Amino acid sequence: MKAILKKTKRRQFLSLLSLGGVSLAALGLTMNKAHAHHTDTHFEDKSAHKLVYQLNKADHEYIESILFSCSEMLRKYGDDIELVITAFGPGLHLLAKRPKRAISHLHQQRVQSLIQYGVRFQACGNTMKSMRWLEQDIIDNAQIVPVGIDGIMQLQEQGFSYISM
pLDDT-based confidence at 18, cuts 50/70/90?
very low
| Confidence (pLDDT) at 69 | 97
Q: What is the pLDDT of residues 82-130, one digit of tens each?
A: 999 999 999 999 999 998 888 999 999 999 999 999 999 999 999 999 9
- Helix/strand/coil percent split, the chain, to 5: 45, 20, 35
Give domain limits for the chain: 45-164
Asked if 124 and 151 count as a contact pair (C-beta separation under 8 A), the reply is yes
Q: For the chain, what is the radius of gyration of the CA atoms?
A: 16
Identify the CATH class of 45-164: alpha beta
In angstroms, the CA 163 to CA 154 distance is 14
Q: Of the given ranges (14-28, 36-50, 126-140), which has the lowest mean pLDDT?
A: 14-28
- 37: pLDDT strictly greater than 60: no
- 29: pLDDT strictly greater than 80: no
What's the DSSP call for residue 4? P
pTM for the predicted model, two decimal places: 0.74
Higher pLDDT, 39 or 59: 59
